[in-house]
Structure 1
Amino acid sequence: MIENFEVIELKIVICYKAVPEEQDILVNSDHTLSFERAEYKIGIYDLNAIEAGVKLGGTVIGLTAGGEIVNNSKMKKSILSRGVTEMYGVMDDSLVGIDSYSTANVLKAAIEKIGDVDLVLCGEGSGDIYSQQVGPILGQLLGWVGLNAVSKITEDSDGLVVERSLESEIEVLKVKLPAVLSVTTDINIPRIPGLRDIMSAGKKSSKVWKLDEVGVKVENRVETLSVLAAKQIDRKKVIIEGDSTEKITELYEHLRKIL
């Protein structure tokens, strides 16, 4: 027997971050990184959160925080062309490179300003730092149910049914809203916007707030001393064929010298 229930239209906020395109990042001679020529894009893991929210339906809002890139027209179209209803952003130079707690605190203030939010979705981590902390911290700050490693979301009569992919098992939980969920890359395959989607994105609503408009102050608790690329090492091009004892010993000797 299938029980019928009324599906409530959700108000969903998708948190995303603008990150530099990897192929545009240059490594200087001193191993520092140059982002001067880098174009920006939505973080790869955030795309899964966007797709998950759009598939759930209802009002789907994109939310980001950062520097001037927040108000970039190309970035706005990028989020609004993926099925999102509207976009909000918090822009301030002080938000560039802030720690996870400070980021979550700004997002919390913006979510409360938006109001009446049922569900917040985040990617499993940002496409640059990948700390995997913003989603769980945001849930704590809001005082809502917070779960990570979410690989499936299904609407239920009084909330959601969520599957979490753990190391050796799949955990199924019934979740009452409001909630903050961090989704994995296994949850879906993000859509690629078509020309019609990109054209219609310009007609959708977008709003960018200054930091003081959301009523929060940023106190960055982490100072980045340096970001260095690993030293490039040429391949040794040593090929050992066969699986005899002698070949295994030869492989071991090569590895021992390197390590």
Structure 2
Amino acid sequence: MSGIDTLPPLREVIQTHGLSARKSLGQNFLLDLNLTAKIARNVADLPNSDVLEIGPGPGGLTRGLLAEGARKVLAIEKDTRCMPALAEIAAAYPGRLEAINGDALEVDPLAHLTPPIQIAANLPYNVGTELLVRWLTPRDWPPFWQSLTLMFQKEVAERIIAAPGSKAYGRLALLAQWRADARIVMHLPPEAFSPPPKVHSAVVHLTALPEPRFEADAAILSRIVAAAFNQRRKMLRAALKGQAPDIQDRLLAAGIAPTERAEQVSLEQFCALAREIAKP
């Protein structure tokens, strides 16, 4: 019998430990263990990998990851109230769960994990995008992780996979798709959570590419993409005029019409422009 079968239902765990969700921590607990197991099955190479989980709460996804065979799970939880519930899971899966009470933005996971490493999380809404951007923009590439399996608000998930010309297309899509393959693997309604959020949710799976899809300097690409989408209603020759004195010529050299707007420009074109701007 697996450890998940010896543990009480999540509603009982929440009641026992007084784990009412806190809005200040962006908490919405996923209580259906069938759903958490389904999310876990989307994590790449689970039996041969260590997994970093952020914001486990009472441990629904944690239990799914362990029951589906994760070699080890490092769960980083900011809410001290959740630690006894996580300790119960650790006891049911000896030697396979390490739970740390701390801030995911400050803890170094590499001190606790052995590659290959996957990241899986029902991310707290208030830090989800910030964590994703950090994982997509390390100093060196490939990153320490092989894949990300992450829950977001549906709107954020759609921004990650968006294509040029769509309303959702922007900086997040370009950051994600430059260095990773991204797809939505699950949709979840508000009633799957406790308390139910006001929005639908989706799980995005990202697989790190061995190298970026197109050649470009990361800092320059990030800068021009931010400038272009900060003024997305403007033509690029106006939105990017601060990037180079001869921006119109550089846009043309990159194969971009200076009158285009940011949402019409592909990742490949933005990378070409970054290479042009890098030239003396």
TM-score when normalising by structure 2? 0.30
User: Does 1 or 2 have the higher relative contact order (CA < 8 Å, sep 6+)?
Assistant: 1
Larger proportion of strand: 1
Larger Rg: 1
TM-score (norm 1): 0.32
